Chains A and B, each alone.
Chain A
């Protein structure tokens, strides 16, 4: 019966983010938070595993103070307890900082047989947390997982790669990162939503993780985030006969590498 931990990120819902036309900067003033999409798959997979074989699921998140808004949402999706770390360092944390904080927290609250993450976050999609976490905890890492099962301490996974599929087995404990097609996250029922406030949550102070201040400084610094606008060339062939227009269009598409 595996003891599972799911690491999740509380991100802004990209549907609520507007791009300011004057400088393409992001207007997030009306954006609501959500549990990152792939992390919902990770939570669902852990819950499916323990529903089938028994065991327990905890959740862990690291973010700014807004992360507190995620607790009931996370608990309504099935975990029995959520640990949370709210610290200003999360505002600019890169994959390196995030993994160090999560690893320190797991050493404190663990051990766990399975540590699950989403393949990447909805906002940055750096795909670094699982692999860095595994390295820091000196555990094996299985990424791009689209199918997962556990028998005793053996974890079997199907990895969906770009042009192939790989079936692997590994002895736990192990860090797993899942793809979105591994499952369809359930919609919490109303009783699960209302029952979430009765489940425990525990704050972990970053000061209690024995991390030196320099460990919380990102090595990759994000200077700005801007929207992307497709620049159209607006080339119109309309001067000559239709056959010439078609020929020019074909030549143009060929030049652009589109046909």
Chain B
């Protein structure tokens, strides 16, 4: 197995790093403090083709492949996890339309999504235990010319800024999630109401809100994939998204360990830099190793996605690995920086909040460990 990046992938990574340094580094602290949506930066992302990275050339995308995509997400996350989340949620919506949409749907939405004229959102979660279950479940009722949506979706990211949402609703309340069906819903549709922006622990700047659907009338052409195929679509799309989220976790962890290592070299205690102390070296070495191994795992999963091979088990392994070790990376790097690292004047508290967002949210439909255990030969 070759983990080396091609020349193009390396150059794309370099472009992402240069972009992040120029556009994200100056705003990261401000976003964390205000939670304001970074509209100008999103437009700049579109100009540099990051919003159409995965989409094919015939709809205006860059067709750069999934390995490049995780490189980009990691590099953006090193400077600002929230912006990487905006890109990731847009991309998973575009990915879903690209993979399950009709030719007309692709033609209608993807060119504008590739250009960044239309931001995407992915509305899967509900307040109940699973989509299609509970009193707020989003229900799609068949009518003469299509469907009518009623209910709510929770924790929708890019909410309020997206122009189009991939929305999952059950067509049979009795069957719940088994009758989950995907639809493409325009934000401008009558009856779509985006709630108040929710305050989140981290990844501030990537808007999160509940969306209420009140008698939203959809034409038959809004159906994405086939009737009751929603669970399958959501599982695949979320598994893909989880690999990109792993790249977010690695990017934030890498930024944290580099900051801690630089701090340790200049922080003098007992007459010498703390970087020479074995206890500090152990903490730094363990975090750097975790980042490196996770990066190899996610590149492996990304390559499988790019090659159209089964990837869900490998994606689950990366997710499981980082759910355990992501937050620990920040605990350990904060430990290296001691009281200063705990201070809000330093970047680690922001990274701590952000890395929690990348590991706590959007898990695959089931515990990743269940999938991994079931596939041990």
- Interface of A toward B, CB cutoff 8 Å: 69, 72-73, 76, 187-191, 193-194, 196-197
A193 touches B63 (CB 8 A): no
Assembled-state Cα–Cα distance A73/B12 (Å): 10
Contact B18 A190 (CB under 8 A): no
Partner of A194, one of B22, B47, B64: B64
Contact: B8 with A72, CB < 8 Å? yes
For residues 217 through 249 of chain B, which have their beta carbon under 8 Å from a beta carbon of chain A?
Answer: none
Q: 11 pairs across A/B with beta carbons < 8 Å?
A: A69-B7, A76-B11, A187-B48, A189-B62, A190-B48, A191-B49, A191-B62, A194-B8, A194-B62, A196-B11, A197-B8
Q: Can you name the residue of chain B whose Cβ is closest to the Cβ of A195?
A: B62
Is B213 in the interface zone, CB < 8 Å from A? no
Tell me if A193 and B22 are in contact (CB < 8 A): no
Decide yes or no whether B15 CB sits under 8 A from chain A: yes
A257 to B11, CA, bound (A): 47
Check if A189 sits within 8 Å of B48, measured CB to CB.
yes
Pick the contact of A187 from B7, B18, B62, B63 — CB < 8 Å? B18
Inter-subunit contact A189/B63 (CB<8 Å): no
Rounded to whole angstroms, the CA-CA distance of A72 and B5 in the bound complex is 14
Chain A residues with CB below 8 A from B22, complex form: 187
Nearest chain B CB to A238 CB, angstrom units: 15
Tell me, yes or no, whether B155 is within 8 Å of chain A by CB. Answer: no
Q: Contact at B7–A72, with CB atoms within 8 Å?
A: yes
Q: Please indicate the chain A residues that have their CB under 8 angstroms from the CB of B63 in the complex.
A: 194
Number of interface residues of B (CB under 8 A): 18
Minimal beta-carbon separation of A137 from chain B (angstroms): 32
B165 at the A interface (CB under 8 A): no
Query: A41 to B147, alpha carbons, bound, how many Å?
Result: 56
Closest to B17 in A: A187
Inter-chain contacts of B95 with A (CB < 8 A): none
Contact A190 B50 (CB under 8 A): yes
Find chain B residues with CB under 8 A from A187 CB.
15, 18-19, 22, 48
How far apart are the CA atoms of A193 and B12 in the complex, in Å?
7
A187 to B23, CA, bound (A): 11
Give Cα distance in the complex from A188 to B14, angstroms.
9
Chain A nearest CB: distance from B343 CB in Å? 27
Given contacts A73-B14, A190-B49, A193-B15, 13 further A-B contacts (CB under 8 A): A73-B11, A187-B19, A187-B48, A188-B15, A189-B15, A189-B47, A189-B48, A189-B49, A190-B15, A190-B53, A190-B62, A190-B64, A191-B62
Closest 9 CB pairs of A and B: A190-B49, A190-B62, A189-B48, A187-B18, A189-B49, A193-B11, A191-B49, A187-B19, A190-B64
Chain B residues with a Cβ under 8 A of chain A: 7-8, 11-12, 14-15, 18-19, 22, 47-50, 53, 62-64, 68
| Neighbouring A residues of B68 by C-beta, 8 Å | 190
Q: Are B49 and A72 in contact (CB under 8 A)?
A: no
CB distance from A82 to the nearest CB of B (A): 14
* Cα distance A130–B22 in the bound complex, in angstroms: 30
Q: Which residues of A contact B7 (CB under 8 A)?
A: 69, 72
**What is the minimal beta-carbon distance from A186 to any residue of chain B, in angstroms?**
9
Cα distance, A73 to B11, chains bound together (Å): 7
Chain B residue with Cβ nearest A69: B7
**In contact, A72 and B19 (Cβ under 8 angstroms):** no
Closest chain-B Cβ to A86's Cβ sits at a distance in Å of 16
Instruction: Give chain B residues whose Cβ lies under 8 Å from the Cβ of A194.
Output: 8, 12, 62-64
Residue of B nearest to A71 (CB): B7
A193 contacts B19, C-beta separation under 8 Å: no
Q: How far is the CB of A22 from chain B (nearest CB, A)?
A: 16
Closest-by-CB residue of B relative to A68 is B7
Chain B residues whose CB sits within 8 angstroms of the CB of A188 once the complex forms: 11, 15
Contacts A187-B22, A191-B62, A194-B63: A72 and B47 contacting too (C-beta < 8 A)?
no
Please measure, in the bound complex, the distance between the C-alpha atom of A187 and the C-alpha atom of B14, giving whole angstroms.
Answer: 9
Once bound together, how far apart are the Cα atoms of A189 and B72, in whole Å?
A: 12
Contacts of B48 in A (CB 8 A): 187, 189-190
Nearest CB in chain B to that of A73: its residue: B11
In Å, the complex CA distance between A88 and B14 comes to 28
- Interchain CA distance A45-B178 in the complex, whole Å: 59
- Give the complex CA separation of A190 and B15 in angstroms: 8
Q: CB-nearest residue of chain A relative to B18?
A: A187
Give the complex CA separation of A190 and B11 in angstroms: 9
CB-based nearest B residue for A197: B8
Contacts of A189 in B (CB 8 A): 15, 47-49, 62
Cα distance A190–B114 when bound, in Å? 12
Q: How far is the CB of A188 from chain B (nearest CB, A)?
A: 5
Chain A residue, CB-CB nearest to B23: A187
